[in-house]
Amino acid sequence: SFIDLTKFVPQIMERFEMLTKNESIHFQHKLPNKEMYIYGDRDKLTQLMDNILSNAVKYSPQGGTITCSIKEEKERVIVSIKDEGVGIPKENIPHIFDRFYRVDKARSRNLGGTGLGLAIAKEIVLAHGGSVWVSSDWGKGTVISFALPYDEAVKE
């Protein structure tokens, strides 16, 4: 179905804001001031956002800010989820979309997880004809971005 991304993204963030009320994590978004319809599977795209945002929350410090932004490019739209968390060491970055891959078992032992979240996220993005990538500074934070095909002419 058609999904208005500039409505969809803040809806998902609101749910995470509720879920993490007690953790003093701040959420903000930077969105174009217009409707942006993409064609996709709403449940799958919800899972995609959930998997990325749950990592952002899991690896964020107290008082950290998570920022979601949507940027329009030629024939595609880019959604980025930025956190101020622990970051990912450079040598681990090429592997984080692999199944069952987790950066440091010791560091994330108490944080839990199976290492499937981002592998599933990547599968969903590819199934929508898009791509996904990461940029991260060890100790400073992480940005996960994905691009999806977008046609400005489609108004639902």
Q: Does 60 contact Mg ion by CB under 5 A?
A: no
Rg for the chain (alpha carbons), in Å?
15
Residue at shortest CB range from Mg ion? 117
What DSSP string describes 31-53? --SS--EEES-HHHHHHHHHHHH
Strand arrangement, sheet containing 141-149:
26-30, 65-73, 76-83, 141-149, 131-137
Supply 107's token pair. 């560091």
**Residue in 117, 124, 130, 147 binding Mg ion, rule: CB under 5 A:** 117
Q: Does 142 contact Mg ion by CB under 5 A?
A: no
User: Among residues 81, 92, 99, which one has the least CA distance to residue 142?
Assistant: 81
- For residue 49, the minimal CB distance to Mg ion (Å) is 12
Provide the angle, in degrees to the nearest 10, between the axes of the packed helices 42-58 and 117-127: 150
The one of Mg ion, ligand ATP, none whose footprint includes residue 116, by CB under 5 to 8 A per kind, is ligand ATP
The one of Mg ion, ligand ATP, none whose footprint includes residue 128, by CB under 5 to 8 A per kind, is none
Contacting residues toward ligand ATP, per CB under 6 A: 51, 55-56, 59, 83, 85-88, 96, 101-103, 108, 113-119, 142
Binding part of the chain for Mg ion, among 12-20, 28-36, 50-58, 91-99 by CB under 5 A, reads: 50-58
- Residue numbers at the binding site for Mg ion (CB under 5 A): 55, 117
